[in-house]
Amino acid sequence: MWKYLSGNKLGVRFRRQHPLLFYIADFYCHQLKLIIEIDGTVHNKEDVKINDAVRQNEIEKLGITVLRFTNSQVKNNPEKILEQINKTIEEVKINRDQSSPLGAGGLRAIIFSAGLGTRFKPWTDKHPKALAIVNGKSLLQRNIEYLQQYGITDVVVNIHHFPDQIINAVKENNGWGSNVMISDESDVVLETGGGLVKARKLLDGDKPFISLNVDILTNLDLNKLMAFHQQHKPLVTFGVTNRKSSRVLLFDENNRLHGWKNVNTGETKGPFLTFPRGEGTKPILKEMAYSCVVIYEPQIFDLITQQGKFSIMDTYLDLAAKHVILGYDHSGDNLVDVGRPESVAVAEALFF
């Protein structure tokens, strides 16, 4: 069965032996929330049937569709099995499109991968951080596959530190099933803001697009982030959580960005943090940590005033006074900043 499902052969990506709740699914497509189970003869026993029914009921409560076949069906009539699977895939796609028109599928994304990774030495003395390994997969591969779960397969990767290693990894692995485009910053690293501007020709269009940092691993639901973005229609929406951080962003009760704060020094930046005398009082602001997963409206490119090397955070703070920039609270989701070698063990405990 894996021969038929692997490598996006049916137009969607399946994983095998994928953990869900307290169970292991034989084959799972996150994009469609579809499980395929292959049952041996042991599943004919009455107690096993009962356990299967309980398990399937719990999984279906998560909105996941379950298809079950027997070993003999797969061995003796694989064509009929594939026909049923393809039919189900099409039905799930139609139902998903009708009930959830705000998904992230089809958008383009950029994975910021050009950093020097100075906190990740000694690995980055000889390799780019993007190729650091977590449970047998590089950070870059994991983020490309994360995007694939939501139907995003056109991905820009910017490069600077050991760029040839990233180019070779992409070529050798056929983009891990995605259309990977390279934005070359070999001459000078431009940080996130400059890197975004550099990649404009690869991202520009009439649809929103997404950015990720290669050293961030998360299970933030991009469809939910996109639904929030479409509902409120800001210029920019990014994920935030209530985790501890030395630098935080400040939001009002409507989740609108007001500024930035260094928790250790008390330094603040932002258009709404000070008022001229007689023009009101400071609002009560909540502190949230930036998740580095962002949705932009395409007109962002025409509004960016900075040039050369700069952080995208500078752009947020520059534009926040006249344009709505929102934080989407996804506290409770898994998120690991794999910025230091010791954080790999933390990531490996959460991302398999």
- State pLDDT tens for residues 121-169: 999 999 999 999 999 999 999 999 999 988 899 999 999 999 999 999 9
Same domain? For 314 and 339 the reply is yes
The whole-angstrom separation of Cα 334 and Cα 325 is 23
- State pLDDT tens for residues 61-71: 777 899 999 99
pLDDT for position 32: 85
Q: How far is CA 206 from CA 15, 101, 221, 300, in A?
A: 32, 17, 23, 11
Same domain? For 74 and 164 the reply is no
Of 99, 127, 162, which closes a domain?
99
pLDDT for position 47: 85
Torsion sign across C-alpha atoms 138, 140, 142, 145: negative
Of 43, 70, 99, which closes a domain?
99
107 exposure class (CB count in 10 Å sphere: 0-12, 13-18, 19+) = buried
For residue 324, give the CATH number of its domain. Answer: 3.90.550.10
Q: Is the pLDDT of residue 4 over 60?
A: yes
Quickly state the pLDDT bin for 100 (edges 50, 70, 90): very low
Of 38, 68, 99, which closes a domain?
99
Quickly state the pLDDT bin for 276 (edges 50, 70, 90): very low
Q: 116: domain range?
A: 108-350
The least confident of 68-77, 106-115, 279-288, 329-338 is 279-288
pLDDT for position 281: 60
For residue 83, give the CATH number of its domain. Answer: 3.40.960.10
Contact 318, 260 (CB under 8 A): no
Tell me which of 74 and 278 has the higher pLDDT: 74
Same domain? For 22 and 58 the reply is yes
Same domain? For 324 and 261 the reply is yes
The whole-angstrom separation of Cα 139 and Cα 134 is 7
Same domain? For 203 and 321 the reply is yes
How many domains in the chain?
A: 2
Same domain? For 51 and 131 the reply is no
- Residue 296, number of CB atoms within 10 A of its CB: 23
Same domain? For 213 and 133 the reply is yes
Same domain? For 215 and 284 the reply is yes
Q: Is the pLDDT of residue 99 over 70?
A: no
Same domain? For 61 and 120 the reply is no
pLDDT for position 205: 86
pLDDT for position 57: 83
Quickly state the pLDDT bin for 101 (edges 50, 70, 90): very low
Q: Is the pLDDT of residue 277 over 60?
A: no
- Exposure letters 125-162 (e unless 16+ CB within 10 A, then b): eebbbbbbebeeebbbbbbbbbbbbbbbbbbbbbbbbb
pLDDT for position 265: 94
Same domain? For 120 and 73 the reply is no
- What is the pTM for the complete model shown? 0.73
Same domain? For 302 and 183 the reply is yes
Quickly state the pLDDT bin for 171 (edges 50, 70, 90): very high
Residues in the chain: 352
Same domain? For 125 and 257 the reply is yes
Contact 109, 212 (CB under 8 A): yes
Write phi, then psi, for 103 (nearest 5 degrees): -70, 170
